[in-house]
Structure 1
Amino acid sequence: MTEGLKRPTGRYAGKAADERHAERRRRFLDAALQLFGAGPGYQATTVAALCVEAGLSTRQFYEQFRGLEDVLAALHLEVNDYAESAVVDALARTDGLPFTERYGPVFRAYAASIAEDPRRIRINFTEIVGVSPRMDEQRLTRRARWVDLIRAEAAAAVRKGEAPDRDYRITAAAFIGSVNGLLHDWAAGWVDADLDQVVDELVHLLLALLRSPD
């Protein structure tokens, strides 16, 4: 029987096949970030338009992706991975500080990673919503990771005696919902505030949720 097709492994123009493959994938993702995140949006973009934006062929597109939904999925994960990395770095830098001093820098790191490029906000909070059951599952799965991170931080605050000992599952879910909603509305121009004010409000909200009523 004939084996399945494999990508060539030789070098061309000084680059190995895997390098060229990665470069083409990056060009498609960058083109999609522009078309999905700045306009006309995911639903109005075609494979042909994406290929024109990337300066590549449809054949090269289908060597990388099964369809546009795969591109959107990859972008959404990339935006979240970038934000998560920024948060983890900020948590490491502020390790040992009381939570009242820690979460300002942490959420500024998160907001900066998302808001430094408005296209990321649109990908993360708008374009992925309602696309398909698969995308809804991915979006909720990544949201659950953020909820788990907040719960872990709450548990750490409890161990230090900085927060009351209780179940923070609903608290964490409510806070992440607030983060997503407020950043979406701010990016859409519906909130008359700068990013520092938005982050300050989110930090105040989280501290209020973690503090004891006493």
Structure 2
Amino acid sequence: MDERTALVTRRGETYGGRSREERASDRRERILDSALHLFGTRHYDDVTVAEVCAGAKVSKRYFYEHFADRADLVRALHRQQNKWLLTGVAAATPESPTSLDEMLQPAVRRLLDMLRANPERAKVIYINAPRMETRRRGVLREDAQFLAHLLRRVGTHPTNELRYERMLLALVAGLSEVIIDWLSQGMVEDPGPLADHLTDYCTAVLQQL
């Protein structure tokens, strides 16, 4: 539970058979669901707090109990959606791969399949939320750490930690740019060839580590 929601629920009042905590959590999820649809189908600057509240069927008062402003909402939404994406990718990755290709191919293919099947989520993760530069940088670092965790499955042990961290950061930044280009073109290209190209790119970089 986020800090704002926790603050709202501390009074412990029950209404209609549901605790304050349950009602607050439900409102927060409805706000995030509404935001996912709006920011996943429209430009960031075109979406207002009032529209998010209308879609969630909550008042602005309740919105500001959970989020400081629109940017705070998008940051929370992006964290939620990026976690969903990375969890799916991790699940598709073999626990004990024998090679980089065996690890990367299913991971990259799952990444693209999830994005193609969920265009609203894809737009939030790669198009709208990255407009906030600070959040974009933070996500790239989180994704680089996620990749480092996966690489431990193939026994990768860097001898130069700083070089290793920078190479992984450059790698995920490059992946993101190619994916953004694919999304911007409507994801019309079959993900198979793209997955192969991105796997080749990752392998070429990682073999230098």
Question: Residues 123-167 of structure 1: CA distance to partner in whole angstroms, max 9, x if unpaired?
Answer: 122212344xxxx2222122112223334555665659xxx9774
Equivalent in 10, 20, 37 of residue 17 of structure 1:
20
AA matched with 1:81: K
Task: Report the CA distance shift for 1:159/1:139 in structure 2 as closer, same or farther (over 3 A).
Answer: closer
AA matched with 1:185: D
Q: TM-score scaled by structure 1?
A: 0.79
Aligned-residue CA RMSD in angstroms? 2.7
The yes-or-no answer on 1:204 pairing with 2:200 is yes
Matched with 2:92 is 90
Q: Return 5+ residue gaps in structure 2 as ranges.
A: 1-6
What is the number of equivalent residue pairs in this alignment? 199
Matched with 2:3 is none
Question: Residues 66-85 of structure 1: CA distance to partner in whole angstroms, max 9, x if unpaired?
Answer: 21111101011111111222
CA–CA distance in 2 between the matches of 1:158 and 1:11?
Answer: 52
Equivalent in 29, 38, 44 of residue 32 of structure 2:
29
Matched with 1:74 is 76
CA–CA distance in 2 between the matches of 1:43 and 1:196?
Answer: 33
SS of structure 2 residue aligned to 1:43: helix
Deviation, 1:190, is: 6.7
- Checking the alignment, whether the CA contact within 8 Å between 1:154 and 1:210 is kept in structure 2 is no
Question: Residues 5-64 of structure 1: CA distance to partner in whole angstroms, max 9, x if unpaired?
Answer: 96442222221111111111011011111111102x221122211111111111221222
- What are the within-5 Å matches in structure 2 for residues 159-178 of structure 1? 159=156, 167-178=163-174
Q: TM-score scaled by structure 2?
A: 0.81
AA matched with 2:108: F
- Checking the alignment, whether the CA contact within 8 Å between 1:147 and 1:172 is kept in structure 2 is yes
SS of structure 1 residue aligned to 2:130: coil
- Checking the alignment, whether the CA contact within 8 Å between 1:79 and 1:114 is kept in structure 2 is no
Q: Return 5+ residue gaps in structure 1 as ranges.
A: none
Question: Residues 76-106 of structure 1: CA distance to partner in whole angstroms, max 9, x if unpaired?
Answer: 1111111222233334x33243222121112
AA matched with 1:56: V
CA–CA distance in 2 between the matches of 1:25 and 1:124?
Answer: 19
CA–CA distance in 2 between the matches of 1:186 and 1:159?
Answer: 30
Equivalent in 110, 135, 138 of residue 135 of structure 2:
138
Which is higher, the Rg of structure 1 or of structure 2? 1
AA matched with 2:104: Y
- Greater shift in the superposed pair: 104-113 or 194-203: 104-113
Q: Relative to total residues, which structure has the larger helix share, 1 or 2?
A: 2
Identity of counterpart residues, as a percentage? 25
